Amino acid sequence: MVEKTVIKAKAKRHAVVDREHCAACGACEAVCPRGAIVVWKGSFSVVNDDLCVGCGRCSAECPASAISIEVRA
Ligand code: SF4
Ligand code: SF4
Protein backbone atom coordinates (compact mmCIF):
# COMPACT_ATOMS: atom_id res chain seq x y z
CA MET A 1 0.00 0.00 0.00
CA VAL A 2 1.36 3.40 -1.01
CA GLU A 3 1.18 6.11 1.60
CA LYS A 4 0.24 9.52 0.39
CA THR A 5 1.44 12.69 1.99
CA VAL A 6 -1.03 15.52 1.60
CA ILE A 7 0.52 18.94 1.63
CA LYS A 8 -1.94 21.78 1.84
CA ALA A 9 -0.59 24.72 -0.06
CA LYS A 10 -1.38 28.16 1.25
CA ALA A 11 -3.44 30.48 -0.91
CA LYS A 12 -1.43 32.76 -3.16
CA ARG A 13 -2.81 35.88 -1.57
CA HIS A 14 -3.33 36.95 1.99
CA ALA A 15 -4.60 39.89 3.98
CA VAL A 16 -2.12 42.38 5.40
CA VAL A 17 -3.17 44.88 8.07
CA ASP A 18 -1.82 48.39 8.39
CA ARG A 19 -1.87 48.65 12.17
CA GLU A 20 -1.37 52.39 12.11
CA HIS A 21 -4.73 52.86 10.43
CA CYS A 22 -6.72 50.08 12.07
CA ALA A 23 -9.50 51.44 14.29
CA ALA A 24 -10.13 48.06 15.96
CA CYS A 25 -13.79 48.17 14.94
CA GLY A 26 -14.05 44.42 14.42
CA ALA A 27 -15.78 44.54 11.04
CA CYS A 28 -13.11 42.35 9.46
CA GLU A 29 -13.40 39.76 12.20
CA ALA A 30 -17.17 39.64 11.72
CA VAL A 31 -17.05 38.88 8.00
CA CYS A 32 -14.08 36.54 7.69
CA PRO A 33 -15.38 33.11 6.65
CA ARG A 34 -12.25 31.44 7.97
CA GLY A 35 -11.87 33.02 11.37
CA ALA A 36 -8.50 34.20 10.16
CA ILE A 37 -8.53 37.77 11.43
CA VAL A 38 -9.17 38.98 14.96
CA VAL A 39 -8.87 42.22 16.85
CA TRP A 40 -6.00 41.77 19.27
CA LYS A 41 -6.61 43.14 22.76
CA GLY A 42 -8.79 45.92 21.37
CA SER A 43 -5.80 47.47 19.63
CA PHE A 44 -5.58 46.32 16.02
CA SER A 45 -6.45 43.32 13.94
CA VAL A 46 -4.06 40.49 13.25
CA VAL A 47 -4.21 37.85 10.53
CA ASN A 48 -3.59 34.16 11.03
CA ASP A 49 -1.64 33.44 7.88
CA ASP A 50 -2.29 29.71 8.10
CA LEU A 51 -6.04 30.28 7.81
CA CYS A 52 -6.30 33.28 5.49
CA VAL A 53 -7.23 32.45 1.90
CA GLY A 54 -7.01 35.99 0.57
CA CYS A 55 -10.70 36.26 -0.29
CA GLY A 56 -10.77 40.01 0.35
CA ARG A 57 -13.97 40.21 2.36
CA CYS A 58 -12.23 41.84 5.29
CA SER A 59 -10.61 44.40 3.04
CA ALA A 60 -13.93 45.25 1.41
CA GLU A 61 -15.58 45.83 4.79
CA CYS A 62 -12.83 47.78 6.50
CA PRO A 63 -13.98 51.39 7.02
CA ALA A 64 -10.40 52.54 7.53
CA SER A 65 -8.99 50.94 4.38
CA ALA A 66 -6.44 49.32 6.64
CA ILE A 67 -6.36 45.91 4.96
CA SER A 68 -4.73 45.11 1.66
CA ILE A 69 -4.74 41.79 -0.14
CA GLU A 70 -1.23 40.99 -1.23
CA VAL A 71 0.59 38.19 -2.99
CA ARG A 72 2.45 36.04 -0.49
CA ALA A 73 6.19 36.44 -0.47
S1 SF4 B 1 -8.77 37.79 3.14
FE2 SF4 B 1 -10.59 36.51 3.57
S3 SF4 B 1 -9.78 34.74 4.70
FE4 SF4 B 1 -8.20 36.33 4.77
S5 SF4 B 1 -8.57 37.41 6.71
FE6 SF4 B 1 -9.67 38.52 5.07
S7 SF4 B 1 -11.76 37.68 5.08
FE8 SF4 B 1 -10.43 36.26 6.21
S1 SF4 C 1 -12.22 46.36 9.75
FE2 SF4 C 1 -10.36 47.61 9.46
S3 SF4 C 1 -10.44 49.17 11.11
FE4 SF4 C 1 -11.90 47.52 11.64
S5 SF4 C 1 -10.70 46.11 12.98
FE6 SF4 C 1 -10.54 45.35 10.86
S7 SF4 C 1 -8.63 46.26 10.03
FE8 SF4 C 1 -9.21 47.42 11.86
One of 3.40.50.970, 2.40.160.20, 3.30.70.20, 3.40.50.2300 is the CATH number of 13-71, namely: 3.30.70.20
Nearest residue by C-alpha to atom 5 in ligand 2: 24
Could you tell me the mean pLDDT of each successive run of 10 residues in the chain, 73 residues long? 69 96 98 98 97 98 98 91
On whether the pTM is more than 0.75, the answer is yes
Going from N- to C-terminal start, the domains of the chain cover 13-71
Q: Give dist(CA 2, CA 8) in Å, integer.
A: 19
What distance in angstroms lies between residue 49's CA and the mean position of ligand 2's atoms? 16
Handedness of CA 72, 38, 46, 57 (dihedral sign): positive
* DSSP code at position 26: -
Cβ atoms of 25 and 37 within 8 Å: the answer is no
Nearest CA to ligand 2 atom 1: 62
Distance from C-alpha of 23 to C-alpha of 7, rounded to nearest angstrom: 36
CB 68 within 8 A of CB 15: yes
